[in-house]
Amino acid sequence: MKPLKKITLLMASCLMMSSMVWAQSEMKTVIVIFDGLRPDYITPQLMPRLYQLKQQAGYANNNHSVFPTVTRVNSASYATGSYPARHGILGNSIHVPTLGNTEIYDTGSMADLLAVDSLSGHRLLTATSAGELLAENGKQLYAFSSGTSGQAFLQNPQIKGAIIHPGFVLPKSLEPKVKAAIGEVKSQQGNGYAKHMWITDAFIHFGLATDGPEVSSIWYSEPDATQHATGIGSPRSLEAVKVMDAQLGRILDTLEQRNLTGQVNLIVTSDHGFITYEGDQTLRDFLIEEKLKSDVQSDDIIVADGAIFVKNRDAAVIADIVAKLQEQPWVGPLFTAAKAPGMPEGIVAGTLSFDIIHWNHPDRAADILVAYAWDDKVNEYGYQGVQHSKSSIAAGHGGISKHEIRTPMVLFGPAFKAGYVSELPSSFIDIMPTVLALHGIGRAGQMDGRVLSEFFADERGGATPKVEIETVKSNAAGTWGSYEVEAQLSTIDGHRYLDFGRTRRTGPQ
C-alpha cells in the first residue's frame, strides 16, 4: 500500500472513531418519575402520551418498588441503586439508634435530613450515590422535583450537579439563574398544578439545554398527593393523572422540536403503587392500648412508620410484642433480625428475616418491622387493593402488597429495544446501574441493582437469564389459633426481588 493511501485510511479511521466518541458523549439520559403512578392508569383515555410511548418503547412488565414502599426509601434507593440495608433510609420516618437520642426524623424534610447528616458525621446515606459516581467521571446529575424537600434532596445529597425545586435551588449560586429564566412559582389558586408546570419549565430550560447535564431526572409528586386525599381512581386523581401526562407530553414535544430524540435515552417510571385504606387500628395506638408502650412520648418503645424499636433490645419484650401482633387480623407480615445471616426466618417464631427484604442495616434496623394485612377487594372507583389500616387519608402505600410493589417502567431511546416487553423482574434500584452503564461507568459492586441489559438494543443484551421464584414461610401458634407469614421472591443473576408478602390465620384448633 502506498504511504499516502495509508495516511488517508488512517485519517478516515481516526475521524470515524472521533465521530463515534463525539456521538457517545452527546448522549443524555432523562428519567421521569410520577409519584404513586399505578400501571393500570396507563390507558389511552387517561395517559395518551405515556400509553403511546409504552407501545413504541421497551416496557418492564414485572417492575418493583423497594419495600417499605414509601417515597423516601425509594428516593434513596434510586439515588444509590441500592436497598435500605446498604443506604440507611429505612422509612419515611426514621429513628437512628446510633445518634443516641429518641428523635423520629421526617425524611420528607430536608432540615431533618441535614440534622441526621450532621449528627452522623455526614453519613446520611451509608452508600455511594450515582451523583458521586457521575461526578468522578466528569459528568453531572440534575434532579428536578415538585415533591417534598427531603425527596428532592435524597436524590443528589452531595449536590454533584444540582437540585432544582419550586422551594429551593442547590447549589445556591444557581438560584438567581433559575429565577431569572423561569421566574417564581405562580399562585397555587385554581387547579393547584402550578408547581408541576413550573418544574417542567425548569427541566426543559436547564435539563434539556445543549450544555446541560448528562443525566437529569424530574420527579412529580402527583398523582400521589391527590390519591392520598381523594382515593385511587377518584375524579380528582384521574384529573391529576391527565395533567401529569400533559407534562410528559411537553417534554416529548421539546425533544422532537429540538431534534433530540436520537440523542436522549428516556426512562419513565414510578416509585411505588397505591392501595385503598380501610381499618380501625394503628400500630402505635395498639401498642399503647395493650400497655406494651407507656404513652405516645415514652421511649420504652419507639415507633417510626412500621418500625418498632424496643429499649435495650429486650428479647422478651420483642417476643411478647410479636405474639400480640400475630393475633390481630389487621396485622400482615412481621419481620425481625435473621436467625443467622442470610436465613429467611426471623429470630422470633412466625416472623421472616430482615435479610430477605434487604432491610438488615447494621446500625439503623429496628427490632420489629410490621406490614399491614391486605386483600384484592375493589374500591368504589373499581381499582383493586385494600389495606386494613386506620388512616386520616383515603389511600396510600408503604405496605407489602402487589398493588404497592408493582410499578410501571418505560425505556425509550436509541440505546433501547423498541416495542419490547420484558417479564424479567426489575426494580427502582436498577435505574441508576443501567444509567451508569449507558454512560460507560462501571458500578464496581457499589450498588445492589443490576444493569437492565435485556432492554439494550445492541449486543450487550445477551441471552435471557433464568428467573427463580420461591416462597419463604414462617409459622407460629397460640391459644387463639395459628399465624403463617409468607413472602414471594424472584431471583435473577443473584439479584433478589420481593414480589409481595401476605399472611394466613386460622382459629383455635
What pLDDT is recorded for position 12? 38
Sheet holding 331-336, edge to edge: 301-304, 307-310, 368-372, 331-336, 352-353
Nearest-angstrom CA–CA distance, 64 and 272: 8
440 — alpha (psi -120 to 50), left (phi > 0) or beta?
Answer: left
What pLDDT is recorded for position 446? 87
- On whether the CB atoms of residues 144 and 187 are closer than 8 A, the answer is no
Residue with cell 398523582: 223
- On whether the CB atoms of residues 360 and 343 are closer than 8 A, the answer is no
∠ Cα 468 472 476 (to 5°): 175
Nearest CA among 396, 451, 460 for reference residue 429: 451
What pLDDT is recorded for position 197? 97
Q: If you write DSSP's letter for every residue of 1-51 in order, what string do you get?
A: --HHHHHHHHHHHHHHHHHHHHHHHH-EEEEEEETT--GGG-STTT-HHHH
pLDDT grade for 186, boundaries at 50, 70 and 90: confident
**Given the DSSP bridges, would you call strands 28-34 and 264-269 parallel, antiparallel or unpaired?**
parallel
Please report the sign of the dihedral spanned by the C-alpha atoms of residue 77, residue 81, residue 83, residue 87: negative
Q: Residue 15: pLDDT above 50?
A: no
What pLDDT, in 10s, does the model give residues 81-103? 999 999 999 999 999 999 999 99
What pLDDT, in 10s, does the model give residues 315-365? 999 999 999 999 999 999 999 999 999 999 999 999 999 999 999 999 999
Displacement of CA 202 from its chain's centroid (Å): 23
What pLDDT is recorded for position 339? 97
Task: Give domain limits for the chain.
Answer: 27-276+398-461, 282-327+331-372+468-506
Nearest-angstrom CA–CA distance, 406 and 420: 19
Q: Residue 460: pLDDT above 70?
A: no
- On whether the CB atoms of residues 150 and 158 are closer than 8 A, the answer is no
φ, ψ for residue 377, nearest 5 deg = -55, 155
Q: Residue 509: pLDDT above 80?
A: no
Beta strands in 222-367 (DSSP E): 264-269, 275-277, 301-304, 307-310, 331-336, 352-353
State percent of the chain over pLDDT 90. Answer: 88
- On whether the CB atoms of residues 495 and 479 are closer than 8 A, the answer is no
Q: Residue 5: pLDDT above 90?
A: no
What pLDDT, in 10s, does the model give residues 158-176? 999 999 999 999 999 999 9
Alpha-carbon torsion angle 160, 29, 91, 370, nearest 10: -160
What pLDDT is recorded for position 17? 35
pLDDT grade for 442, boundaries at 50, 70 and 90: confident
Nearest-angstrom CA–CA distance, 363 and 98: 7
Nearest-angstrom CA–CA distance, 108 and 224: 14
Cβ neighbours around 279 below 10 Å, total: 15
What pLDDT is recorded for position 397? 98
Q: Give the cell for residue 416.
A: 433501547
What pLDDT, in 10s, does the model give residues 376-424? 999 999 999 999 998 999 999 999 999 999 999 999 999 999 999 999 9
Nearest-angstrom CA–CA distance, 216 and 142: 5
What pLDDT is recorded for position 459? 66
What pLDDT is recorded for position 337? 99
What pLDDT is recorded for position 191? 64
- What is the CATH architecture of 27-276+398-461? 3-Layer(aba) Sandwich (3.40)
Task: Name the amino acid, one letter, at 303.
Answer: V
Task: Name the amino acid, one letter, at 141.
Answer: L
Q: Residue 20: pLDDT above 80?
A: no
Residue with cell 410520577: 34
Tell me the mean pLDDT in the region 244-251.
Answer: 99
Q: Residue 266: pLDDT above 80?
A: yes
Q: Residue 33: pLDDT above 80?
A: yes
Cβ neighbours around 253 below 10 Å, total: 12
Nearest-angstrom CA–CA distance, 76 and 94: 13
What pLDDT is recorded for position 187? 61
What pLDDT, in 10s, does the model give residues 366-378? 999 999 999 999 9
Alpha-carbon separation of residue 100 from 97, 119, 310, 313, 365 (angstroms): 6, 10, 14, 14, 14
- Output the average pLDDT for the chain: 93
pTM of the model: 0.93
Element (H, E) at 162: strand 161-165
Sheet holding 384-387, edge to edge: 374-378, 384-387, 275-277, 395-396
Q: Give the cell for residue 102.
A: 429518641
